[in-house]
Structure 1
Amino acid sequence: MTKQMYPCLWFDGQAREAADFYCSIFPNSKIINDSGMVVNFELDGQFFMGLNGGNHFKFNEAVSFVIPCDNQAAIDHYWYKLIADGGSEGQCGWCKDKFGLSWQVVPTVLGKLMSHPEKGQRVLQAFMKMKKFDIETLENA
């Protein structure tokens, strides 16, 4: 039997800096240990490993982390913190942090709004024009 799976994030010598950055954004987060090569940390109870593996590999959108948010304040918090200091905005709730890691900052109500028989298509059209999600605009679509 295996233990809980967890992601290993490859950095070019920035694993501790990244772990500190992420721990400053997510509640209930902490650095567990730092060997220099590997940094183990938790973000809101989810275990992560940061590996100082060198410049051989870069992050891309093929892997992203989804942050489900119950309200606009949470969306705004994660969005602006993640894009700070060199991150970038993408479309439809996607953004990249300053290390190049992709995130999806998504309202938890999105699935319900999109499956609404009368307004689902309008919700889709509204969010396709957005970068950061705006819950009020989606609800009023």
Structure 2
Amino acid sequence: MRISARADYAVRAALELAVRQEDGDPVKAETIAVAQAIPHKFLEGILGDLRRAGVVDSRRGGGGGYRLARAASAITVADVIRAVDGPIVSVRGERPTGLSYQGTAEPLLPLWIALRANVRRILEGVTLADLAADALPQPVRDLAAEPESWENP
């Protein structure tokens, strides 16, 4: 699995909104771009995708900007990634459930389904509130603590 720059930037932008949202004022795209070192024009497109997906709201004008559309505890990392990149795990651009294999390749389908299930379990189990509080769920912390997790074979 590959996390695109677009998905990485989207999660960082949403996290920035989660952290800054406590004062209730919308946050300008430029503020997010500077805080997270994201190219401003690229960020505008990402924020548009997040708005269309219902992850963020926007307000125009001098006091305008962006804010999360729901509580940070109700938005998962998976929600953010899907908003900008589509399905979490795809094979050749298709969801694994839409694939079929024959012959010796038949065992691939359950492998891709299992991969998708594990990735979804992690990304759907972590909310923006978890990240904002630096409080990843224990199973995620346990996986990240395994030395093999940090090695590139």
Same-fold call, TM cutoff 0.5: no
Flag the structure with larger Rg: 2
**What TM-score, normalized by structure 2, do the two folds share?**
0.28
Q: Which has the higher contact order (CA 8 A, sep 6+)?
A: 2
